Protein backbone atom coordinates (compact mmCIF):
# COMPACT_ATOMS: atom_id res chain seq x y z
CA UNK A 1 0.00 0.00 0.00
CA UNK A 2 1.56 3.28 -0.99
CA UNK A 3 1.74 6.08 1.49
CA UNK A 4 -1.04 8.06 -0.16
CA UNK A 5 -3.34 5.11 -0.44
CA UNK A 6 -2.66 4.27 3.18
CA UNK A 7 -3.62 7.80 4.12
CA UNK A 8 -6.88 7.41 2.26
CA UNK A 9 -7.40 4.09 3.92
CA UNK A 10 -6.83 5.62 7.34
CA UNK A 11 -9.28 8.36 6.57
CA UNK A 12 -11.86 5.85 5.57
CA UNK A 13 -11.55 3.29 8.32
CA UNK A 14 -10.27 5.51 11.10
CA UNK A 15 -7.20 5.36 13.29
CA UNK A 16 -8.41 2.46 15.39
CA UNK A 17 -8.14 0.07 12.50
CA UNK A 18 -4.49 0.96 12.12
CA UNK A 19 -3.80 -0.25 15.60
CA UNK A 20 -5.10 -3.68 14.81
CA UNK A 21 -2.02 -5.85 14.70
CA UNK A 22 -3.23 -7.79 11.71
CA UNK A 23 -4.48 -4.94 9.63
CA UNK A 24 -1.73 -5.13 7.05
CA UNK A 25 -2.19 -8.83 6.65
CA UNK A 26 -5.66 -8.38 5.24
CA UNK A 27 -5.14 -7.92 1.56
CA UNK A 28 -7.16 -7.85 -1.57
CA UNK A 29 -6.80 -10.55 -4.19
CA UNK A 30 -3.33 -10.49 -5.72
CA UNK A 31 -2.77 -9.36 -9.27
CA UNK A 32 -0.74 -11.54 -11.55
CA UNK A 33 2.82 -11.30 -10.34
CA UNK A 34 4.33 -12.29 -13.64
CA UNK A 35 2.60 -9.48 -15.42
CA UNK A 36 4.42 -6.80 -13.42
CA UNK A 37 7.92 -7.73 -14.53
CA UNK A 38 9.56 -5.86 -11.67
CA UNK A 39 10.24 -6.60 -8.03
CA UNK A 40 8.89 -4.38 -5.30
CA UNK A 41 11.26 -5.51 -2.56
CA UNK A 42 14.98 -6.20 -2.48
CA UNK A 43 16.47 -8.49 0.14
CA UNK A 44 20.27 -8.63 0.07
CA UNK A 45 22.29 -11.29 1.83
CA UNK A 46 25.94 -10.32 2.07
CA UNK A 47 28.64 -12.71 3.16
CA UNK A 48 32.32 -13.41 2.84
CA UNK A 49 33.76 -14.92 -0.29
CA UNK A 50 34.22 -18.65 -0.35
CA UNK A 51 36.20 -21.49 -1.83
CA UNK A 52 35.03 -21.66 -5.46
CA UNK A 53 36.10 -25.25 -5.93
CA UNK A 54 33.87 -26.35 -3.09
CA UNK A 55 30.96 -24.07 -3.95
CA UNK A 56 30.64 -24.45 -7.70
CA UNK A 57 27.61 -26.52 -8.77
CA UNK A 58 29.62 -28.56 -11.26
CA UNK A 59 27.64 -30.02 -14.13
CA UNK A 60 24.91 -27.40 -13.93
CA UNK A 61 23.49 -25.91 -17.12
CA UNK A 62 21.34 -22.99 -18.13
CA UNK A 63 18.22 -25.00 -17.36
CA UNK A 64 19.33 -27.42 -14.69
CA UNK A 65 21.18 -27.03 -11.43
CA UNK A 66 23.36 -29.81 -10.09
CA UNK A 67 24.08 -28.83 -6.53
CA UNK A 68 27.39 -29.01 -4.72
CA UNK A 69 27.53 -29.82 -1.03
CA UNK A 70 27.69 -26.10 -0.24
CA UNK A 71 24.72 -25.17 -2.42
CA UNK A 72 22.56 -28.23 -1.92
CA UNK A 73 20.37 -26.69 0.83
CA UNK A 74 19.17 -24.17 -1.77
CA UNK A 75 17.51 -26.97 -3.74
CA UNK A 76 13.95 -26.30 -2.47
CA UNK A 77 14.10 -22.93 -4.24
CA UNK A 78 15.07 -24.54 -7.55
CA UNK A 79 12.17 -23.18 -9.66
CA UNK A 80 13.12 -19.66 -8.59
CA UNK A 81 16.85 -20.07 -8.35
CA UNK A 82 19.63 -18.64 -10.49
CA UNK A 83 23.25 -19.28 -9.54
CA UNK A 84 25.78 -17.05 -11.24
CA UNK A 85 29.53 -17.50 -11.24
CA UNK A 86 32.64 -16.30 -13.01
CA UNK A 87 31.93 -12.61 -12.91
CA UNK A 88 34.92 -10.33 -12.44
CA UNK A 89 35.16 -7.58 -9.87
CA UNK A 90 37.59 -5.84 -12.21
CA UNK A 91 39.99 -5.41 -9.34
CA UNK A 92 37.50 -3.89 -6.92
CA UNK A 93 36.97 -6.90 -4.67
CA UNK A 94 40.30 -8.63 -4.58
CA UNK A 95 40.62 -9.01 -0.89
CA UNK A 96 38.95 -9.12 2.49
CA UNK A 97 37.72 -5.62 3.29
CA UNK A 98 37.78 -4.52 -0.32
CA UNK A 99 34.83 -2.23 -1.01
CA UNK A 100 33.85 -3.46 -4.48
CA UNK A 101 31.40 -6.23 -3.60
CA UNK A 102 28.32 -4.00 -3.53
CA UNK A 103 29.78 -0.78 -4.94
CA UNK A 104 31.69 -1.86 -8.02
CA UNK A 105 34.43 0.53 -6.98
CA UNK A 106 37.77 -0.29 -5.39
CA UNK A 107 39.90 1.47 -2.80
CA UNK A 108 40.50 4.43 -5.07
CA UNK A 109 36.81 4.92 -5.81
CA UNK A 110 35.63 8.43 -5.17
CA UNK A 111 31.88 7.99 -5.53
CA UNK A 112 31.21 4.73 -3.74
CA UNK A 113 27.60 3.93 -3.08
CA UNK A 114 26.43 0.38 -2.50
CA UNK A 115 23.73 -0.93 -4.78
CA UNK A 116 21.16 -1.13 -1.96
CA UNK A 117 21.58 2.57 -1.18
CA UNK A 118 21.56 3.48 -4.84
CA UNK A 119 18.31 1.61 -5.40
CA UNK A 120 16.71 3.05 -2.26
CA UNK A 121 17.57 6.57 -3.43
CA UNK A 122 16.16 5.94 -6.87
CA UNK A 123 12.95 4.50 -5.46
CA UNK A 124 12.51 7.63 -3.34
CA UNK A 125 13.11 9.83 -6.36
CA UNK A 126 10.51 7.84 -8.21
CA UNK A 127 7.99 8.53 -5.47
CA UNK A 128 8.15 5.16 -3.73
CA UNK A 129 8.35 6.54 -0.23
CA UNK A 130 8.32 4.22 2.77
CA UNK A 131 8.93 5.16 6.41
CA UNK A 132 12.50 3.82 6.26
CA UNK A 133 14.42 4.19 3.00
CA UNK A 134 16.56 1.09 3.58
CA UNK A 135 17.84 -1.21 6.27
CA UNK A 136 21.41 -2.37 6.80
CA UNK A 137 21.62 -5.01 9.50
CA UNK A 138 24.02 -7.57 10.87
CA UNK A 139 27.81 -7.80 10.67
CA UNK A 140 30.06 -7.91 13.73
CA UNK A 141 30.98 -5.12 16.14
CA UNK A 142 34.52 -4.52 14.97
CA UNK A 143 36.69 -2.37 12.75
CA UNK A 144 36.23 -1.84 9.04
CA UNK A 145 32.52 -1.83 8.34
CA UNK A 146 33.08 -1.36 4.65
CA UNK A 147 30.43 -3.30 2.84
CA UNK A 148 27.80 -0.59 2.49
CA UNK A 149 28.51 2.93 1.31
CA UNK A 150 26.90 6.26 0.75
CA UNK A 151 28.64 9.48 -0.24
CA UNK A 152 31.81 7.43 -0.45
CA UNK A 153 31.49 6.84 3.30
CA UNK A 154 31.17 3.37 4.78
CA UNK A 155 27.89 2.78 6.60
CA UNK A 156 27.80 0.67 9.71
CA UNK A 157 25.03 -1.91 9.94
CA UNK A 158 22.85 -2.06 13.03
CA UNK A 159 24.43 -4.94 14.94
CA UNK A 160 21.85 -5.63 17.61
CA UNK A 161 18.52 -7.25 16.71
CA UNK A 162 17.02 -5.41 19.67
CA UNK A 163 18.19 -2.07 18.32
CA UNK A 164 17.04 -3.06 14.84
CA UNK A 165 13.60 -3.98 16.14
CA UNK A 166 13.34 -0.65 17.94
CA UNK A 167 14.50 1.28 14.90
CA UNK A 168 12.12 -0.49 12.55
CA UNK A 169 9.03 -0.85 14.67
CA UNK A 170 9.58 1.77 17.37
CA UNK A 171 7.31 4.25 15.63
CA UNK A 172 4.73 1.75 14.52
CA UNK A 173 1.22 1.58 15.81
CA UNK A 174 -0.35 2.49 19.11
CA UNK A 175 1.05 5.99 19.37
CA UNK A 176 -1.29 8.20 21.34
CA UNK A 177 -1.94 11.72 20.10
CA UNK A 178 -0.26 12.99 23.27
CA UNK A 179 2.91 11.02 22.63
CA UNK A 180 2.92 12.13 19.02
CA UNK A 181 2.65 15.76 20.10
CA UNK A 182 5.46 15.29 22.64
CA UNK A 183 7.66 13.68 20.06
CA UNK A 184 7.19 16.49 17.61
CA UNK A 185 7.81 19.18 20.23
CA UNK A 186 10.92 17.41 21.50
CA UNK A 187 12.37 17.07 18.04
CA UNK A 188 11.71 20.75 17.39
CA UNK A 189 13.63 21.60 20.52
CA UNK A 190 16.48 19.23 19.69
CA UNK A 191 16.75 20.61 16.19
CA UNK A 192 16.92 24.15 17.53
CA UNK A 193 19.81 23.26 19.81
CA UNK A 194 21.65 21.50 17.02
CA UNK A 195 21.41 24.71 15.06
CA UNK A 196 22.97 26.62 17.97
CA UNK A 197 25.91 24.24 18.13
CA UNK A 198 26.32 24.09 14.40
CA UNK A 199 26.66 27.85 14.21
CA UNK A 200 29.88 27.69 16.22
CA UNK A 201 31.55 25.14 13.97
CA UNK A 202 33.56 25.24 10.80
CA UNK A 203 32.12 23.64 7.69
CA UNK A 204 33.99 20.38 8.14
CA UNK A 205 32.67 19.87 11.66
CA UNK A 206 29.25 21.16 10.75
CA UNK A 207 28.74 18.15 8.51
CA UNK A 208 28.32 16.00 11.60
CA UNK A 209 25.49 18.21 12.82
CA UNK A 210 23.91 18.10 9.38
CA UNK A 211 23.86 14.31 9.42
CA UNK A 212 22.15 14.46 12.80
CA UNK A 213 19.55 16.91 11.52
CA UNK A 214 18.91 14.69 8.49
CA UNK A 215 18.39 11.76 10.84
CA UNK A 216 15.89 13.78 12.89
CA UNK A 217 14.07 14.89 9.75
CA UNK A 218 13.65 11.24 8.81
CA UNK A 219 12.00 10.60 12.18
CA UNK A 220 9.79 13.64 11.71
CA UNK A 221 8.71 12.46 8.29
CA UNK A 222 7.91 9.12 9.76
CA UNK A 223 5.85 10.68 12.51
CA UNK A 224 4.03 12.82 9.98
CA UNK A 225 3.14 9.77 7.94
CA UNK A 226 1.87 7.87 10.94
CA UNK A 227 5.09 5.93 11.49
CA UNK A 228 4.25 3.11 9.17
CA UNK A 229 1.22 0.92 9.04
CA UNK A 230 0.32 -0.85 12.20
CA UNK A 231 0.97 -4.45 11.51
CA UNK A 232 2.15 -7.67 13.03
CA UNK A 233 5.56 -6.45 14.14
CA UNK A 234 6.08 -9.54 16.21
CA UNK A 235 7.82 -9.46 19.54
CA UNK A 236 11.06 -7.72 20.36
CA UNK A 237 13.79 -10.33 19.88
CA UNK A 238 16.39 -11.02 22.55
CA UNK A 239 20.04 -10.21 21.95
CA UNK A 240 21.66 -13.13 20.14
CA UNK A 241 24.38 -15.22 21.68
CA UNK A 242 26.61 -14.83 18.63
CA UNK A 243 26.83 -12.62 15.59
CA UNK A 244 25.62 -15.07 12.97
CA UNK A 245 22.51 -15.81 15.01
CA UNK A 246 21.94 -12.09 15.31
CA UNK A 247 22.03 -11.87 11.52
CA UNK A 248 19.48 -14.67 11.27
CA UNK A 249 17.23 -12.68 13.60
CA UNK A 250 17.80 -9.62 11.43
CA UNK A 251 16.49 -11.49 8.38
CA UNK A 252 13.27 -12.09 10.21
CA UNK A 253 12.97 -8.43 11.13
CA UNK A 254 13.68 -7.35 7.56
CA UNK A 255 10.98 -9.60 6.14
CA UNK A 256 8.52 -8.34 8.73
CA UNK A 257 9.46 -4.80 7.78
CA UNK A 258 8.60 -5.69 4.18
CA UNK A 259 5.28 -7.13 5.31
CA UNK A 260 4.51 -3.85 7.02
CA UNK A 261 5.78 -1.94 3.99
CA UNK A 262 8.12 -0.02 6.26
CA UNK A 263 10.93 -0.39 3.75
CA UNK A 264 11.50 -1.82 0.32
CA UNK A 265 15.24 -2.47 0.55
CA UNK A 266 16.94 -4.49 3.27
CA UNK A 267 20.44 -5.88 3.51
CA UNK A 268 21.71 -8.35 6.03
CA UNK A 269 25.39 -8.97 6.41
CA UNK A 270 26.37 -12.32 7.86
CA UNK A 271 29.67 -12.05 9.65
CA UNK A 272 32.62 -9.84 8.87
CA UNK A 273 35.61 -10.36 6.65
CA UNK A 274 37.93 -10.96 9.59
CA UNK A 275 36.27 -11.09 12.95
CA UNK A 276 33.51 -13.66 12.83
CA UNK A 277 33.53 -16.11 15.69
CA UNK A 278 31.43 -19.13 14.80
CA UNK A 279 30.15 -21.55 17.36
CA UNK A 280 27.35 -23.49 15.69
CA UNK A 281 26.70 -27.19 16.17
CA UNK A 282 25.86 -27.48 12.48
CA UNK A 283 29.30 -26.19 11.54
CA UNK A 284 31.53 -28.14 13.89
CA UNK A 285 34.24 -27.04 16.27
CA UNK A 286 34.15 -23.35 17.10
CA UNK A 287 36.45 -21.15 15.08
CA UNK A 288 36.96 -17.94 13.19
CA UNK A 289 35.33 -17.90 9.75
CA UNK A 290 38.33 -16.18 8.21
CA UNK A 291 41.30 -17.53 10.11
CA UNK A 292 40.16 -21.06 10.66
CA UNK A 293 37.57 -21.93 8.03
CA UNK A 294 38.85 -20.03 4.99
CA UNK A 295 42.56 -19.99 5.68
CA UNK A 296 43.05 -22.81 8.11
CA UNK A 297 41.09 -25.97 7.44
CA UNK A 298 42.01 -28.34 4.69
CA UNK A 299 39.75 -30.03 3.71
CA UNK A 300 37.25 -27.22 4.18
CA UNK A 301 34.70 -29.15 6.13
CA UNK A 302 33.70 -26.32 8.44
CA UNK A 303 33.54 -23.82 5.59
CA UNK A 304 31.24 -26.19 3.72
CA UNK A 305 29.09 -26.64 6.78
CA UNK A 306 28.91 -22.90 7.34
CA UNK A 307 27.97 -22.29 3.70
CA UNK A 308 25.22 -24.87 4.09
CA UNK A 309 23.99 -23.11 7.22
CA UNK A 310 23.94 -19.79 5.37
CA UNK A 311 22.04 -21.39 2.50
CA UNK A 312 19.48 -22.63 4.99
CA UNK A 313 19.04 -19.08 6.28
CA UNK A 314 18.46 -17.95 2.72
CA UNK A 315 15.82 -20.64 2.25
CA UNK A 316 14.22 -19.77 5.59
CA UNK A 317 13.94 -16.16 4.45
CA UNK A 318 12.31 -17.32 1.23
CA UNK A 319 9.85 -19.43 3.18
CA UNK A 320 8.91 -16.54 5.41
CA UNK A 321 8.46 -14.32 2.37
CA UNK A 322 6.19 -16.98 0.91
CA UNK A 323 4.08 -17.05 4.05
CA UNK A 324 3.17 -13.37 3.91
CA UNK A 325 1.05 -11.42 1.45
CA UNK A 326 2.77 -8.56 -0.32
CA UNK A 327 1.43 -5.25 1.03
CA UNK A 328 1.70 -3.95 -2.52
CA UNK A 329 -0.54 -6.69 -3.81
CA UNK A 330 0.60 -9.21 -6.38
CA UNK A 331 0.67 -12.40 -4.36
CA UNK A 332 3.05 -13.16 -1.57
CA UNK A 333 6.06 -11.17 -0.54
CA UNK A 334 8.19 -13.86 -2.15
CA UNK A 335 6.44 -13.17 -5.45
CA UNK A 336 7.36 -9.50 -5.20
CA UNK A 337 10.86 -9.75 -3.75
CA UNK A 338 14.20 -10.11 -5.44
CA UNK A 339 16.48 -12.06 -3.14
CA UNK A 340 20.15 -11.76 -3.86
CA UNK A 341 23.11 -13.32 -2.11
CA UNK A 342 26.21 -11.30 -2.86
CA UNK A 343 29.74 -11.51 -1.49
CA UNK A 344 32.68 -9.29 -0.68
CA UNK A 345 35.03 -11.33 -2.77
CA UNK A 346 35.12 -14.17 -5.22
CA UNK A 347 37.81 -16.59 -4.17
CA UNK A 348 38.37 -15.88 -0.49
CA UNK A 349 41.07 -18.50 -0.20
CA UNK A 350 43.23 -17.02 -2.94
CA UNK A 351 42.16 -13.43 -2.38
CA UNK A 352 40.72 -12.46 -5.69
CA UNK A 353 37.59 -11.12 -7.25
CA UNK A 354 37.99 -12.89 -10.56
CA UNK A 355 35.20 -15.29 -9.78
CA UNK A 356 32.40 -13.35 -8.14
CA UNK A 357 29.26 -15.34 -7.51
CA UNK A 358 25.64 -14.48 -6.83
CA UNK A 359 22.52 -16.34 -5.90
CA UNK A 360 19.29 -14.83 -7.18
CA UNK A 361 15.88 -15.95 -6.04
CA UNK A 362 12.42 -14.75 -5.22
CA UNK A 363 9.53 -14.24 -7.55
CA UNK A 364 10.93 -10.75 -8.20
CA UNK A 365 7.64 -9.68 -9.77
CA UNK A 366 8.38 -12.01 -12.64
CA UNK A 367 11.74 -10.39 -13.40
CA UNK A 368 13.99 -13.40 -13.06
CA UNK A 369 14.50 -15.77 -15.94
CA UNK A 370 13.87 -19.12 -14.34
CA UNK A 371 13.73 -22.79 -15.17
CA UNK A 372 11.83 -25.55 -13.35
CA UNK A 373 15.11 -27.20 -12.43
CA UNK A 374 16.96 -24.01 -11.64
CA UNK A 375 19.40 -22.06 -13.74
CA UNK A 376 23.15 -21.77 -13.81
CA UNK A 377 24.83 -18.81 -15.45
CA UNK A 378 28.50 -18.72 -16.38
CA UNK A 379 29.36 -15.04 -16.29
CA UNK A 380 32.26 -15.50 -18.66
CA UNK A 381 34.42 -12.93 -16.90
CA UNK A 382 31.99 -10.06 -17.34
CA UNK A 383 31.92 -7.35 -14.69
CA UNK A 384 30.14 -8.27 -11.48
CA UNK A 385 28.98 -4.67 -11.51
CA UNK A 386 26.51 -5.85 -14.16
CA UNK A 387 24.97 -8.24 -11.64
CA UNK A 388 24.57 -5.33 -9.24
CA UNK A 389 22.81 -3.21 -11.84
CA UNK A 390 20.67 -6.24 -12.59
CA UNK A 391 19.35 -5.87 -9.03
CA UNK A 392 18.51 -2.26 -9.81
CA UNK A 393 16.82 -3.22 -13.05
CA UNK A 394 14.78 -5.80 -11.18
CA UNK A 395 13.51 -2.99 -8.96
CA UNK A 396 12.58 -0.86 -11.96
CA UNK A 397 15.67 1.34 -11.79
CA UNK A 398 17.22 1.71 -15.20
CA UNK A 399 19.29 4.88 -14.97
CA UNK A 400 22.64 3.93 -13.49
CA UNK A 401 24.26 7.34 -13.48
CA UNK A 402 26.09 7.75 -10.21
CA UNK A 403 26.62 4.08 -9.58
CA UNK A 404 29.76 2.03 -9.86
CA UNK A 405 32.78 2.35 -12.07
CA UNK A 406 31.96 4.34 -15.19
CA UNK A 407 34.74 2.61 -17.10
CA UNK A 408 33.10 -0.75 -16.65
CA UNK A 409 29.85 -1.87 -18.25
CA UNK A 410 26.83 -1.16 -16.12
CA UNK A 411 24.38 -2.84 -18.42
CA UNK A 412 22.28 -5.37 -16.51
CA UNK A 413 22.82 -9.00 -17.37
CA UNK A 414 19.73 -9.86 -19.34
CA UNK A 415 20.57 -13.52 -19.01
CA UNK A 416 19.53 -13.19 -15.36
CA UNK A 417 16.47 -11.00 -15.64
CA UNK A 418 13.98 -9.85 -18.17
Partner 1 sequence: MTHHTAVSFSLVAALLAGGCGIDTADPDAAGGGGQLEPPACSPRGPRMTRRLSNLQLHNTLAAVFQDPGVPTGDVLNDPVILGFKSDATQSVVRDLDAQLIMNNAETVADWAVNQKLGQLTSCQGMDATCVRQFIQTLGKKLYREPVPSSSVDAYAELFGQETSFADGARAVISAMLQSSYVLYRREFGVRGSDGLYHLTPYELASSLSYMLTNGPPDDPLMSAADQGRLATTADLDREAARLLSTQASETAFGTFARNWLVIDDLASRAKMDPTNQLSDAIRTAMLRETTLMFMNVLRSDAKVSELFTASYTFVDQTLAGYYQIGGAGGSFGRVQLPPNTRAHGILGDGSVLTRHALADRSSPVQRGKLVRERLLCEELTPPPPNVDTNLPPPMGTVTTRERYEVHSQNPFCKGCHSRIDPIGFSFEHFDGFGRKRDQENGVAIDATGVLAGTDDGDIALDGLDSLSSYLSTSPQVTQCLARYVSYNAYGLDHCSEASITAELAASNGSLKSIVMAVIHAPQFTTRTE
Contact 340, 77 (CB under 8 A): no
In the complex, minimum distance from the CB of residue 215 to partner 1, in angstroms, rounded to a whole number: 4
Q: What does the alpha-carbon distance between residue 117 and residue 102 come to, in Å, rounded to a whole number?
A: 10
Residue number, 286 or 402, with CB nearest to partner 1: 286
Q: What does the alpha-carbon distance between residue 15 and residue 226 come to, in Å, rounded to a whole number?
A: 10
Q: What does the alpha-carbon distance between residue 4 and residue 189 come to, in Å, rounded to a whole number?
A: 29
Q: Is 120 helix (H, G, I), strand (E, B) or coil?
A: helix
Strand partners, 278: 287
Q: Is 24 helix (H, G, I), strand (E, B) or coil?
A: helix
In the complex, minimum distance from the CB of residue 104 to partner 1, in angstroms, rounded to a whole number: 15
In the complex, minimum distance from the CB of residue 282 to partner 1, in angstroms, rounded to a whole number: 14
Q: Is 232 helix (H, G, I), strand (E, B) or coil?
A: coil
Residue number, 198 or 373, with CB nearest to partner 1: 198
Residue number, 31 or 209, with CB nearest to partner 1: 209
Residue number, 5 or 298, with CB nearest to partner 1: 298
Residue number, 41 or 159, with CB nearest to partner 1: 159
Quick one: angle between helices 203-224 and 177-198, nearest 10?
A: 170
In the complex, minimum distance from the CB of residue 95 to partner 1, in angstroms, rounded to a whole number: 4
Residue number, 213 or 369, with CB nearest to partner 1: 213
Residue number, 275 or 373, with CB nearest to partner 1: 275
Return the DSSP state at 291. Answer: I
Q: Give the gyration radius of the chain's Cα atoms.
A: 21
In the complex, minimum distance from the CB of residue 15 to partner 1, in angstroms, rounded to a whole number: 20
Residue number, 348 or 359, with CB nearest to partner 1: 348
In the complex, minimum distance from the CB of residue 347 to partner 1, in angstroms, rounded to a whole number: 9
Residue number, 68 or 145, with CB nearest to partner 1: 145
Tell which residue, 38, 46, 119, 52, has the closest CA to residue 84. 52
Query: Phi and psi at residue 357, in whole multiples of 5°?
Result: -135, 150
Residue number, 337 or 352, with CB nearest to partner 1: 352
Within 10 angstroms of residue 206's Cβ, the number of other Cβ atoms is: 14
What DSSP line would sit under 296-358, residue for residue?
T-SS-HHHHHHHHHHHHHHHHHHHHHHTSB-TTSSSBHHHHEEEEEEES-SBTTTTB-TTEEE
Q: What does the alpha-carbon distance between residue 320 and residue 189 come to, in Å, rounded to a whole number?
A: 41
Return the DSSP state at 31. Answer: P
Query: Phi and psi at residue 22, in whole multiples of 5°?
Result: -110, 10
Within 10 angstroms of residue 80's Cβ, the number of other Cβ atoms is: 21
Query: What is the DSSP pairing of strand 337-343 with strand 41-47?
Result: parallel
In the complex, minimum distance from the CB of residue 105 to partner 1, in angstroms, rounded to a whole number: 10
In the complex, minimum distance from the CB of residue 108 to partner 1, in angstroms, rounded to a whole number: 8
In the complex, minimum distance from the CB of residue 137 to partner 1, in angstroms, rounded to a whole number: 10
Please give the C-alpha separations between residue 77 and each of 236, 303, 306, 317, 319, in angstroms, as whole numbers: 29, 22, 19, 11, 9
In the complex, minimum distance from the CB of residue 142 to partner 1, in angstroms, rounded to a whole number: 6
Amino acid sequence: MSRSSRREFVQRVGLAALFSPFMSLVKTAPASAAALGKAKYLLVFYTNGTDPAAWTPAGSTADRLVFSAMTEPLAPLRPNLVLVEKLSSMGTADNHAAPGGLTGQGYSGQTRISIDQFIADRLRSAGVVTPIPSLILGSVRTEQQNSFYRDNQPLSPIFSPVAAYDAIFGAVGGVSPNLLRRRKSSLDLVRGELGQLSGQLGSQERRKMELHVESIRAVEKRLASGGGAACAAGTRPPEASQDLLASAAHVDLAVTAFACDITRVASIQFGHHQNTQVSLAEVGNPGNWHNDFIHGDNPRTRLTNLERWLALQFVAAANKLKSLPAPTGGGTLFDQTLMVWARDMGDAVAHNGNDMRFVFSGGAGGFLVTSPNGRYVDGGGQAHQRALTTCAAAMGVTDFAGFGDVNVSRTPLDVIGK
